[in-house]
Amino acid sequence: MNEIMKRTIERKLERTAENLRKNNIDAYIAEDCADAVKITESLMKENDTISCGGSVTLAESGVLELMKSGKYNFLDRSQASDRESVEDIYRRTFTADVFLTSANAVTENGELYNVDGNSNRVAAILYGPKSVIFIVGCNKVVRTVDDAVKRVKTCAAPPNADRLNCNTPCTVTGECVSLKAGGDMPSGCRSEGRICCNYVVSAWQRNKGRMKVILVKESLGF
Ligand code: SF4
């Protein structure tokens, strides 16, 4: 990446971090993935009970490795033997100390946008865990909520549906069917495997300091 692009991204992340803080959400800027891991570590205590949403970003950034390091009591659903155990982890997550996830998009106005199918992820974001840490690559920062909606329908949901082997139209066409009819936030397909069910904009946090966003100067996840 050339210097001009680096400066442009830096300014965008600084604007976003400033507006997140105005919305009572703590914000950090990480130089790279290693820095994001260090910041994440500084926000958790040893033996904390931690959990996470399904996230390519957590794996790509190295944060998932930190979670599995043994320093924490990780409610790891990948180790669950059956669906009942997975559901049990989802419920226990509500009393976790820390929930880690990415966001589908973050606006420069300081809003978080998340779309979920099973919705255990958005549920834990909204209420339950004492602390929620978002790791967000610079590719997910957009100008407005409208841009966030479009981002999910074009860049986030189709590859996620593909990753999760969902039989949805977007896995074939590469974008949401709703775009043909204007692409309003809640419009979508009527597939059994639809992963876009609940659409959540987090605009302001009453519980100051509960949400922390680490904006990374690297592209991560979808
Ligand atoms: S609503 Fe359906 S087609 Fe549209 S992005 Fe979501 S899963 Fe894909």
Q: What is the pLDDT of residues 12-31, one digit of tens each?
A: 999 999 999 999 999 999 99
pLDDT(110) > 90: yes
pLDDT in tens, 50-89: 999 999 999 999 999 999 999 999 999 999 999 999 999 9
pLDDT, average across residues 198-214: 97
Which tens digit of pLDDT belongs to each residue from 166-189? Answer: 999 999 999 999 999 999 999 999
Q: How confident is the model at residue 1 (pLDDT cuts 50, 70, 90)?
A: confident
- Our answer on whether the CB atom of 170 is closer than 6 Å to any ligand 1 atom is yes
- Does ligand 1 lie within 6 Å of residue 195's CB atom? yes
Q: Which atom of ligand 1 is nearest to the CA of 193?
A: 7
pLDDT of residue 2: 87
Say yes or no: CB of residue 171 within 6 Å of ligand 1.
no
Mind listing the domains of the chain with CATH numbers?
3-216 (3.40.50.10420)
Report d(CA 32, CA 135) in Å as an integer: 11
Whole-structure pTM value: 0.96
How far does residue 29's CA lie from ligand 1's centre (Å)? 31
Mean residue pLDDT across the chain: 97
82: left (phi over 0), alpha (psi -120 to 50) or beta: beta
Distance 57 CA to ligand 1 centre (A): 20
Q: 188 CA to middle of ligand 1, Å?
A: 5
For position 215, what pLDDT does the model report? 98
Would the CB of 125 count as within 6 Å of ligand 1?
no
- Would you say the CB of residue 149 lies under 6 angstroms from ligand 1? no
How far is the centre of ligand 1, averaged over its atoms, from the C-alpha of 174 (Å)?
10
H-only helix segments in the chain: 3-22, 33-42, 56-61, 63-67, 83-93, 120-126, 145-151, 157-163, 169-173
Length of the chain measured in residues? 222
Whether residue 205 is predicted with pLDDT greater than 90 in this model: the reply is yes
For the residues 112-140, what does the mean pLDDT come to? 98
Give the mean pLDDT of 153-161.
96
